[in-house]
């Protein structure tokens, strides 16, 4: 039995499914997860010391490549001064100031420890600030695992959804309306019927949790318009896209200004940091200023904040995103060329340091279209790439991530392997 298989068996005895987050268990692709021992730059090494080119990047945070020496040093230096105080620190102010300086939609931010906390609290804040209960989300968008966001679409276009997880009472999602991504007519229809009761729309402004799906022309602008018209708040969940697709997230790319923004992943540089923010007018509703409660023992943790600050400083280097986007596009286009040359129905897309691979003739625009991609072929591709030392996300419905350390040689090595693999699947 391989060392990875031994560890998986052992893990499965003490941890449900052997993992601390479900996608890691390889359920959708089958086989044995790789237990990672260490990571450096674009590479990870598993329990058998096998090296992989990594396109998971800890699901987004590792934008500088793994274990960037300056980020590691910042963590070490912070740790020496104490791991957690439960009292305010100067470094927290610095992180808040950096986020506010970079994203024009932010006047104030509150730091938390995960994306889930950020989105859960942003929803609570939207409800508290508007005095309304209903919220709108889109099918295929993921906003963490808080109760009212674990919802799938109901049977009719405008019926309220059903829980997508056991343990969530239907009443908890009875205020959540789930609509089709990129379908502005459905949004207008929903607001025509329920506009006065809708607190907010929450959206991944570029979706990265149903593979990569970009907003159609006018979609984000339309959401902005509908929210403004009906007095609802627009929440951009930029937990994944923030500082990943460009220096100002999707709000910078699109020019659409949300009322609230949620962040995590890159802003923690691999440590647990999340944030939500918006105008001071809205943020004044958060405790201790206002009646919307939120708290966290480890919020603004000094070691995590140090990693975030170092990361945000390094990604502000001139030309950082041009280079990152160019490398990511080289990978996506190179894969598409090679797959099509092998006669496979395959498409790829990218934005900034994020990419999508689809076993389909065209790039999908909705959850239904992405669901129709050939997952069996993706699974064969995934395992063959993994055997050859390339680590993609173990699911056909996840986006991929490129870091600043994925240089031409790394991308070319990936494409050479892919060319061989495409011929066999
Ligand atoms: C990852 C993610 C979350 C959840 O963040 P966690 O830190 O895993 O809780 C929320 N929203 C989006 C868009 C994400 O990609």
**Residue 138, Ramachandran bin (φ over 0: left; ψ between -120 and 50: alpha; else beta):** beta
Q: Give the C-alpha separation, 366 to 210, whole Å.
A: 9
pLDDT digits (tens, 9 = 90+) for 51-68: 999 999 999 999 999 999
Q: What is the pLDDT of residue 157?
A: 59
In this predicted structure, the answer to whether residue 156 has a pLDDT above a threshold of 80 is no
Mean pLDDT of all residues in 115-133 = 98
Nearest CA, atom 5, ligand 1: 115
Mutate to test the pocket of ligand 1, among 20, 56, 150, 209 (most ligand atoms within 8 A of CB): 209
- pLDDT-based confidence at residue 160 (cuts at 50, 70, 90): confident
Question: How, if at all, do strands 176-179 and 134-138 pair?
Answer: parallel
Nearest CA, atom 8, ligand 1: 115
In this predicted structure, the answer to whether residue 288 has a pLDDT above a threshold of 80 is yes
Work out the percent of the chain whose per-residue pLDDT is above 90. 97
Q: Contact, 217 vs 223, CB < 8 A?
A: no
Nearest CA, atom 6, ligand 1: 115
Q: Which residues line ligand 1 (CB under 6 A)?
A: 114-116, 119, 142-144, 204, 208-209, 237, 239-240, 264, 274
- pLDDT-based confidence at residue 79 (cuts at 50, 70, 90): very high
How far apart are the CA of 271 and the centre of ligand 1, in A? Answer: 13
Long-range contacts of 147-152 (CB under 8 A, 24+ apart): 147/172, 147/173, 148/123, 148/172, 148/173, 148/175, 148/176, 149/119, 149/120, 149/123, 149/176, 149/202, 151/176, 151/178, 152/178
Mean pLDDT of all residues in 286-292 = 98
* CB-neighbour burial class of residue 185 (10 A; exposed 0-12, middle 13-18, buried 19+): exposed
β strands within 29-107, DSSP E: 36-40, 43-46, 51-54
Q: What is the pLDDT of residue 117?
A: 98
Cite the active site residues: 142, 237, 265
Domains for the chain: give ranges and CATH numbers: 3-67+318-423 (3.90.1150.10), 69-316 (3.40.640.10)
The sheet with strand 36-40 has its strands ordered as: 36-40, 43-46, 51-54, 390-391
pLDDT digits (tens, 9 = 90+) for 259-269: 999 999 999 99
Which secondary structure element, helix H or strand E, spans residue 276, and what is its range? strand 274-278
How far apart are the CA of 298 and the centre of ligand 1, in A? Answer: 18
In this predicted structure, the answer to whether residue 295 has a pLDDT above a threshold of 70 is yes
Q: What is the pLDDT of residue 155?
A: 65
């Amino acid at each position: 039995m391989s060392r990875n298989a031994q560890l998986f068996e052992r893990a499965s005895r003490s941890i449900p499914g052997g993992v601390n987050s479900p996608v890691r268990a390889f359920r959708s692709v089958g086989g044995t997860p790789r237990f990672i021992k260490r990571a450096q730059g674009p590479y990870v090494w598993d329990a058998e010391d096998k090296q992989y080119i990594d396109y998971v990047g800890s699901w987004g945070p590792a934008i500088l490549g793994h274990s960037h020496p300056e980020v590691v040093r910042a963590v070490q230096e912070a740790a020496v001064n104490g791991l957690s105080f439960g009292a305010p620190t100067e470094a927290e102010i610095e992180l808040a100031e950096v986020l506010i300086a970079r994203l024009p939609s932010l006047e104030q931010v509150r730091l938390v420890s995960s994306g889930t906390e950020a989105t859960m609290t942003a929803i609570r804040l939207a409800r508290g600030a508007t005095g309304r209960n209903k919220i709108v989300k889109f099918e295929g968008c993921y906003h963490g695992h808080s109760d009212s966001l674990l919802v799938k679409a109901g049977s009719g276009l405008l019926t309220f959804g059903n829980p997508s997880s056991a343990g969530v009472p239907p009443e908890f999602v009875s205020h959540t309306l789930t609509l089709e991504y990129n379908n502005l007519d459905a949004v207008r229809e929903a607001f025509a019927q329920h506009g006065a009761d809708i607190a907010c729309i929450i959206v991944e402004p570029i979706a990265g949790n149903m593979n990569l799906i970009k907003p159609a022309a006018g979609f984000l602008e339309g959401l902005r318009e509908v929210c403004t018209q009906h007095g609802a708040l627009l929440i951009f969940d930029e937990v994944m896209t923030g500082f990943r697709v460009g220096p100002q997230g999707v709000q910078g790319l699109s020019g659409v200004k949300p009322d609230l923004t949620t962040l995590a992943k890159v802003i923690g540089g691999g440590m647990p940091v999340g944030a939500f923010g918006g105008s001071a007018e809205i943020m004044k509703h958060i405790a201790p200023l206002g009646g919307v409660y939120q708290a966290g023992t480890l919020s603004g943790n000094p070691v995590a904040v140090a990693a975030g600050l170092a990361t945000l400083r390094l990604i502000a280097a001139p030309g950082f995103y041009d280079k990152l986007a160019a490398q990511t596009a080289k990978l996506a286009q190179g894969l598409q060329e090679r797959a099509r040359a092998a006669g496979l129905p395959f498409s790829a897309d990218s934005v900034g340091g994020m990419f999508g691979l689809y076993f389909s003739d065209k790039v999908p625009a909705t959850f239904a279209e992405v669901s129709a991609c050939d997952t069996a072929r993706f699974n064969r591709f995934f395992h063959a790439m993994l055997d050859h030392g390339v680590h993609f996300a173990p699911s056909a419905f996840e986006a991929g991530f490129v870091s600043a350390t994925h240089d031409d040689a790394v991308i070319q090595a990936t494409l050479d392997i892919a060319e061989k693999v495409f011929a066999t699947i």
